[in-house]
Amino acid sequence: MTDQSARIEDLEAALSAKLAKATEAMAAEPNTATIKAYNDAKKALDTFLADQSNAKTGERFKNLEQAASWVIKEGYIVSGKTVRNHAHSAGFPRQQKDGSYLLKEIAAYAATAWDNPSRPTEPRPDTDYSDQVKRETARKLKLDNDIKEGRYLLRSEEEQRDAQVLYGIKLAVENWGPFMVQDLISVAALELGEEVSARLGRITPELLVRYRSLSGELFDRFAAAGSIEVPDAD
């Protein structure tokens, strides 16, 4: 096992242990703080596992050097230095928060930016190629300036805003769970007696965990669908 693999396993174990501890704390004393701690721990572990899955399937490059190496190995007539220089140009794939680059974006950019004798290419129109380059450069610069001056809303910013709204709704729904359970117990005490109410109180932690699981599955379906429409019941 390499040092990198060992560090990855240690980090996964630490995140799993933190989630287990947060789950126990929430079950023992369900309140806003313990529920939030559980949510944060679960999100951290899920994000870590998703990133590792993407890395193993080759869906992203850890850094620009790996991306440049892949472009060269694919047969594009370009040097690593040129790829690094293009990283500062408008239109180059956006660097992810963890410093990585998505494979599909790098592949799409390389196909339009550099020649590759091993891949068939579309015939170019019989026009002055330098003029085409100048027009395309001017178009990208104008688009870049429009974005900087706020005339366009980047898709990434819109997605981030939508994700924040959905996350806020998700927290509100999850934090409402304890109040719903307590209300159920109060109603049971009035209608069915204190003995039934006490029995429900003993399974309160289990009810809360179940509520969290079901609400989490619901919002996962929202995220996968890209909307907040209520999906059909299975």
Whether residues 220 and 167 fall in one domain: yes
Residue 50 lies inside a defined structural domain of this protein: yes
Confirm whether 79 is domain-assigned. no
| pLDDT for 79 | 92
* Residue 190 is assigned to a structural domain of this protein: yes
Q: Which domain holds residue 138?
A: 122-152
> pLDDT tens across 133-185, in order?
667 777 777 766 666 666 665 566 666 676 777 777 777 777 777 777 777 77
Q: What is the pLDDT of residues 82-136, one digit of tens each?
A: 999 999 888 899 888 888 898 888 988 998 889 888 765 544 444 455 666 667 7
CA 17 to chain centre: 22
Q: Confirm whether 38 is domain-assigned.
A: yes
- pLDDT of the residue at 4: 47
H-only helix segments in the chain: 3-28, 32-56, 64-73, 80-86, 103-113, 129-148, 155-175, 177-192, 194-202, 204-225
pLDDT in tens, 34-56: 889 999 988 888 877 776 665 55
* Contacts with 224 (C-beta within 8 Å, 6 or more apart), sequence order: none
Question: How many domains is the chain built from?
Answer: 3
Q: Are residues 183 and 126 in the same domain?
A: no
| Domain annotation covers residue 20 | yes
Q: Is residue 166 part of a domain?
A: yes
Do 45 and 8 belong together in one domain?
Answer: yes
